[in-house]
Amino acid sequence: MDRRGLLRATGAAAALPAMPTLAQPARARVLKMVPQANLTSLDPIWTTANITRNHGYMVYDNLYGMDAQFRPQPQLAEGHAVEEDGRRVTITLRSGPKFHDGEPVRAADAVASLRRWMRRSPSGQKLAEFVDELSAPDDRRIVFRLKRPFPFLLPALAQVSNSPAFIMPARIAATDAFQQIRETVGSGPFRFKADEFNSGSLVVYERNPDYSPTPAGMPSLTAGPKTVHFDRVEWQIITDASTAAAALQSGEIDWFEQPPPELQTLLRRNRALAIEAIDPLPLTGILRFNHLHPPFNDKRMRQALLPAIDQADFMQAIVGTEPGLWEKAGVFTPGTPLANDVGMEALNGPRSLDRAKALMREAGYSNQPMRLVGPTDILAPAAMTQVCADLVRRLGFNADIVLTDWGTTVQRRTSREPLDKGGWSIILTSFSSFDFVDPSAHFPLRGNGTSAWPGWPDIPQLETLRDAWFVAPDLPEQQRLAREMQRVAMDELPYIPVGSYKSLTAIRRDLRDRVPGFALFWNLKRA
């Protein structure tokens, strides 16, 4: 199996098929994009799926945004005051922001939204441990009374994803955090067109004429003024990559978020198109185990896979063989202060299937079933899943390979049932650079058992180290704790890191001033 050539479009891409003409309103005011995946969940608190996070930033706003240097900046907030030696923090809302239903954004809405967010977000969960009381004494003030100072309060509120602290109307935020919301109303730069939503086909947003951008700063990641230059944004769900590429070349769409590597080469020949990194920092891929059920509830079975894992195989399936587009990775984003090489000897050096098979036998493997679940319609997880499918077969696992769409995969990975009731053993996915910068929002690095992200590892030592990291006095101590966290993670294996890669996007050159980071639509304009 030629794993470096995975996911080639059906038929040689040298002659891309023509795409049926799409009806287009006035081109200058409409932006059409093929997103990374179908939008199946509209609740960015309920799921960590990046496509739902991107949807969230279209519709909602935050109290604070995060700039490209990972510094929190006011968004809905006007500012804040810290009193009582850091145990009382008062955030004041700006005057003017309104929800899409015309109601003003009130402090009570923020309090309800933050309470729901604190149930699901790792940063929010940690913040909740410090909160004695969260209240709204009037329409513009949000008061945190803390048991002790929490230096990461504002960075937590500005967390870019997993999951962002989006502000919703209190009536919607009252929804149980473990149930999906049924109504999409925010105060963000775009309104969601529920009447045109057709999952699997079309997602539509219209410019919010009442949007009140922050007057402070410059556009940078999710911080600064969010100025909208398009009246309408359409996400065209086109699952065939060659069809999407043809539409981009012909001008029928403006942006193809994640073209596969074999099409990137072709698209580079078109002078009207630019192929560029969507994020200056790399994304990281992971092989996630289900820790609740055999065979990977046994640490020895998780460790048995290490000699067979070649990060190059997984990464080149996503980005191809062009140098500089991928690198080896541990549990923190390469190129950021906490990245380190502790424990990485397990993934370096010669790879050996025979050694992995021997470790499987020592762990007592005797043809027990395992199930790999993954998607076919989203570039990175699909590519990594195909590599893993080949690997587990060659290792001799009694493997059930279940390939479906990304939305179904996201839903299915939440099941804690055993295999005979539809459960799973391994999934593969990737996370944005800012998700793995530090332990605060690093979902897969949690070890809090059934409260953890799907996979549910119970590793108390990881939780102890994470707690210590939050109160570390300086960067050197944070780095020491990060090295220790990686040592524990590479031994206990909540997951195996399978490398980091630059996610390349294809966009028409007449679009200017894209904000780097992910698929962000403010500030973007047509020349």
Is the pLDDT at 5 greater than 60, yes or no?
Answer: no
**Residue 245 near residue 482 (C-beta atoms within 8 A):** no
Model pLDDT, residue 259: 94
Model pLDDT, residue 15: 40
Q: Which pair of tokens denotes residue 333? A: 């984003």
Instruction: Tell how strand 141-146 and strand 88-93 pair up.
Output: antiparallel
Model pLDDT, residue 18: 38
At 20, is the pLDDT very low, low, confident or very high (cuts 50, 70, 90)?
very low
Averaged pLDDT, 274-289: 96
Tell me the three state secondary structure of residue 303.
helix
Q: How far apart are CA 527 and CA 522, in angstroms?
A: 15
pLDDT tens-place string over residues 68-125: 999 999 999 999 999 999 999 999 999 999 999 999 999 999 999 999 999 999 899 9
Q: Which of 144, 515, 465 shows the shortest CA–CA distance to 331?
A: 465
In degrees and rounded to multiples of 5, residue 460 shows phi and psi of -55, -30
Averaged pLDDT, 280-294: 97
**Residue 379 near residue 260 (C-beta atoms within 8 A):** yes
Share of the chain above pLDDT 90, in %: 89
Q: In this predicted model, which residue has the larger pLDDT, 14 or 75?
A: 75
Q: How far apart are CA 505 and CA 264, in angstroms?
A: 9
12: buried, middle or exposed (CB in 10 Å: 19+, 13-18, 0-12)? exposed
Instruction: Return the amino acid letter for 70.
Output: F
- Please report the DSSP string for 495-508 in residue order: EEEEEEEPPEEEEE
Rounded to whole angstroms, what are the CA distances from 175 to 46, 159, 188, 189? 10, 21, 20, 23
Q: Which pair of tokens denotes residue 209? A: 């004429």
Tell me the three state secondary structure of residue 85.
helix
At 27, is the pLDDT very low, low, confident or very high (cuts 50, 70, 90)?
low
Rounded to whole angstroms, what are the CA distances from 307 to 370, 395, 466, 485? 19, 11, 28, 21
